[in-house]
Amino acid sequence: MIIVGGISSTSSREGMGPALRFNVDIFIPEFKQLADVVHGYGTPIIAELVPSLGRMSRPPGDGRIISASPLNVVVPESSLPHGIRMPGGFATRTPDEATIGEIQQYEREMIESAARVQRAGWDGVEVAAHMSYFAASFLSPRTNWRTDEYGGSRENRARILTNTVNGIRAITRPEFVVGLRILSNDYMPDGQGAGEFAAIAKLVEEAGADYVAMAPGCYETMNLSATSEDGYAVDCGDARVFKSALSKPLFLQALHDPLRAAQAIADGHGDVVMLARPLLADPEYANKACQGRFNEIVRCDRQNHCLRRLMLNMPMRCSVNPQMGREHRKSGSLPPLRRIVQAPIEAALLGLTGSKTMMDLVALATRK
């Protein structure tokens, strides 16, 4: 099963690079073509619907950013994933508190987007409530200070998710899959642990979710979401807490060693292992693993070159798979002129941002 990540599904303006959009009709014919190709391989395709990046949005100019409550994201340098260098870390702009009208508009737009996903012939959607994105900001009292029906009790903090899942269930076919991707633990000193996040996931399961994909760590602890430790989601104990709270299948992440992944399932930590970076490094990973060709798998180096490019709004590339992001290019053909101009600029920027010494010098030069 392929989960297509980060799809814009409301009218929110994020200020990020090109994203797939299901909040409008015009792309449905192309999404249908994509589904037909994927189905040709006997593989289901699911759309991860993101209502908004919330506190992580960077809209043009001073465009409005909304979140459950007016709390910005502060990422200390020590919490950056391996390979990402930003002296002093970074902080986002403080968002405005979303009005009830805005929350309900996002719920409606998410439900309408799910209907388009179904019309495009895809097999389901995954409602995204992870990292520090809009829906995730409602889940914990640390980020949700509201006193209305979207804040306070567990039921209220889960409301945006239960309303959305209920709404999607009501208008889609019974076999249409509705998943949930949820923050499993924020790992913040004033945060909430896996038990309470799992209890919220349970409410969403009762509202009709077919599976739960757990994601440890928010942006403030982003070294744990793109972790360099194989099997972190299992070792940290979150998987065990989620598994005992839920009845529906639990999806795990960040298990790169296929044997370790199989052991995690055999030991009852979860039911499915998702692959993100391992598939960028080797798109044949799953076939090779199924055929026992473990030594032939090109392993992800966990140096996060891909993530660095994403954070700098550059086209995706992988340091161990030169074909990644260039699959459409015929062998021997020249890159388009635009890429010939952009590539050296990107290389210089990556060189600068990849060097601790250079970044320390930049920090020193720009210090007021």
Ligand X SMILES: Cc1cc2nc3c(=O)[nH]c(=O)nc-3n(C[C@H](O)[C@H](O)[C@H](O)COP(=O)(O)O)c2cc1C
> Where on the chain is the footprint of ligand SF4 (CB under 6 A)?
277, 280-281, 300-306, 318-320
Length of the chain as a residue count: 368
Taking CB within 5 to 8 Å according to partner kind, which of ligand X, ligand SF4, none is near residue 116? none
Cα angle 286, 292, 293 (rounded to 5 degrees) comes to: 80
Comparing CB distances to ligand X, the nearer of 279 and 362 is 279
Task: Quote the CA–CA distance of 107 and 112 in Å, as a whole number.
Answer: 9
> Is 117 strand, coil or helix?
helix
By the 8 A CB rule, do 139 and 157 touch? yes
Nearest Cα neighbor of 75 from 183, 187, 181, 234 is: 187
Beta strand extents in 130-280 (DSSP E only) = 177-185, 211-216, 250-252, 272-273
By the 8 A CB rule, do 264 and 273 touch? yes
Comparing CB distances to ligand SF4, the nearer of 166 and 319 is 319
Taking CB within 5 to 8 Å according to partner kind, which of ligand X, ligand SF4, none is near residue 305? ligand SF4
Of 55, 85, 277, 305, the residue at the interface with ligand X (CB under 6 A) is 277
**Min dist. Cβ of residue 6 to ligand X (A):** 3
283 binds ligand X (CB under 6 A): no
How many residues of this chain interact with ligand X, rule: CB under 6 A?
A: 17
307 binds ligand X (CB under 6 A): yes
By the 8 A CB rule, do 313 and 294 touch? no
Task: Quote the CA–CA distance of 85 and 104 in Å, as a whole number.
Answer: 38
Taking CB within 5 to 8 Å according to partner kind, which of ligand X, ligand SF4, none is near residue 310? ligand X
> Is 33 strand, coil or helix?
helix
226 binds ligand X (CB under 6 A): yes
Enumerate residues 6+ apart whose C-beta is below 8 A from 150.
68, 100, 103, 138, 144, 156, 157, 159, 160
Comparing CB distances to ligand X, the nearer of 58 and 70 is 58
By the 8 A CB rule, do 239 and 271 touch? no
Taking CB within 5 to 8 Å according to partner kind, which of ligand SF4, ligand X, none is near residue 5? ligand X
**Min dist. Cβ of residue 254 to ligand SF4 (A):** 11
**Min dist. Cβ of residue 218 to ligand X (A):** 12
Of residues 11-50, which lie at the interface with ligand X (CB under 6 A)? 48
> Is 241 strand, coil or helix?
helix
Cα angle 188, 150, 8 (rounded to 5 degrees) comes to: 80
Specify the pairing of strand 90-91 against strand 74-75. antiparallel
**Min dist. Cβ of residue 149 to ligand X (A):** 27
Taking CB within 5 to 8 Å according to partner kind, which of ligand X, ligand SF4, none is near residue 320? ligand SF4
By the 8 A CB rule, do 62 and 94 touch? no
CA end-to-end span of the chain, whole Å?
A: 50
Taking CB within 5 to 8 Å according to partner kind, which of ligand X, ligand SF4, none is near residue 301? ligand SF4
Of 1, 276, 320, 359, the residue at the interface with ligand X (CB under 6 A) is 276
Task: Quote the CA–CA distance of 23 and 11 in Å, as a whole number.
Answer: 7
110 binds ligand X (CB under 6 A): no
**Min dist. Cβ of residue 11 to ligand SF4 (A):** 31
Comparing CB distances to ligand X, the nearer of 82 and 240 is 82
**Min dist. Cβ of residue 50 to ligand X (A):** 7
Taking CB within 5 to 8 Å according to partner kind, which of ligand SF4, ligand X, none is near residue 226? ligand X
By the 8 A CB rule, do 218 and 185 touch? no
Comparing CB distances to ligand SF4, the nearer of 224 and 281 is 281
Taking CB within 5 to 8 Å according to partner kind, which of ligand X, ligand SF4, none is near residue 269? none
Comparing CB distances to ligand X, the nearer of 146 and 164 is 164
121 binds ligand X (CB under 6 A): no
Nearest Cα neighbor of 56 from 19, 22, 95, 23 is: 95
* Residue 189 amino acid letter: P
**What is the contact surface with ligand X in residues (CB under 6 A)?**
5-6, 48, 130, 181, 215, 225-226, 253-254, 275-278, 306-307, 310
